[in-house]
Structure 1
Amino acid sequence: MEEEIKFIIDSTKEAMGKAIKHLEKAFINIRAGKASPSMVGSVMVEYYGSPTPLSQVANVSTPDGMTISIQPWEKGLIPEIEKGINLANLGFNPMNNGESVIINVPPLTEERRMQLAKQAKAEAEEAKIGVRNDRKNANNEIKDLDISEDMKANLEIDVQTMTDNHIKKIDELLASKEKEIMTV
């Protein structure tokens, strides 16, 4: 019985942790005005007939806050990299200087910042829903256990405390991301 309880608590904690990890990944994809190599992370390049992630055919760096520099390992890939960036529909206009592909990241407008903040809020809300669903699942499993009502109540309190801590963490992540988005 003891290991069943431990399993329920551990699996719930792990599931709630996964919701936060997913939120952090989602936040990485929401740009906050500064150029970052992760902004072109989804770009696929045609390399010897097969689609290949950009990071596997070029070095991606950010020389300053408004520029992404892509240095291909083979110069012949420059047109393919430009094509891949355009196909990824990121809203960037790649330029090449014969050696590398350069993307100037335009500063965000106030309206776009508001949209990104709204998108961040929606992602955070999805994570909260995931955590609450994990709580519900744990409580249902606790109800099915063959233990005293007092122990069930104590376990449900433990699960609620875990839920509150994870929701607080989500709120902190959201506040941090909103601050990053709204900072000009």
Structure 2
Amino acid sequence: MNEEIQFILDSAKESMEAALKHLEKEFVKIRAGKASPAMLSSVMVEYYGSQTPLSQVSNINTPDGRTISVQPWEKKMLQEIETAIMNANLGFNPMNNGDFVIINVPPLTEERRIQLTKQAKAEAEDAKVGVRNARQEANKEIRDLDVSEDLQKNAEVDVQELTDQYIKKVDIFLAAKEAEIMKV
């Protein structure tokens, strides 16, 4: 196979892989009933005048499946952290005991599970769009090459097979996440 075509296929595969990795990161943020430090990954805290990720100003642990504890490295940050968690609009009600900020993760209601499933489907659809964009870009680059029509057609078939593989992976990820969310 032509080196240029191989390069285009590798590039498309890399883009599709990036879409899948992004989906994994987004799925970690969607809670599925069990407490996880990743649930607080989007929380930013005011720290010496700049917005800093919560994980850079404290230790975040899960002592059990329903509790997240946040231990700031500086005690004066307790109030800031508590406010930041409430402002992050994650649906948590943090409690401050003087040393830690404790968050009880409530069990998901059926309504909330359906909402989270819809959110997961939207993220999966975004990933599929990313995969399809990579396919479109690869096909455009292949058409711009100065190679025989047969070689172009074969390369486009290869790109489509790659696309189908990654769309299938996205669907598998989504099915697993839905099952995790809906499990009571």
| Class of the TM-score when normalised by the shorter of the 2 chains | over 0.9
Alpha-carbon offset, residue 127 of structure 1: 1.1
Structure-1-length-normalised TM-score: 0.95
Amino acid in structure 2 at the alignment position of 1:112: R
Give structure 1 stretches of 5+ with no counterpart: none
Q: Secondary structure at 1:162's aligned position in 2?
A: helix
SS at match of 1:71: strand
> Residues 24-76 of structure 1: CA distance to partner in whole angstroms, max 9, x if unpaired?
11111111111110111121222223222111111000011110001111222
Q: Aligned partner of 1:138: which letter?
A: A
Map 1:70-89; keep pairs closer than 5 Å.
70-89=70-89
Unaligned ranges ≥5, structure 2 = none
Alignment match, 2:106 = 106
Work out the CA distance in 2 between the residues paired with 1:25 and 1:58: 21
Q: What TM-score, normalized to structure 2? A: 0.95
Question: What are the equivalent positions in structure 2 for 1:1-150 lying under 5 Å apart?
Answer: 2-150=2-150
Name the count of aligned residue pairs.
184
Fraction of identical pairs, as percent:
70
Letter of the aligned partner of 2:169 in structure 1?
A: K
Per-residue deviation, 1:6: 2.1
Q: CA RMSD in A?
A: 1.3
**Deviation digits for residues 77-121 of structure 1 (CA, Å, limit 9, x no counterpart):** 111111111221222111111111100011100011011111111
Deviates more, 1:44-53 or 1:22-31: 44-53
Could you list the runs of 4 or more consecutive aligned residues of structure 1 that deviate by over 3 angstroms after TM superposition? none
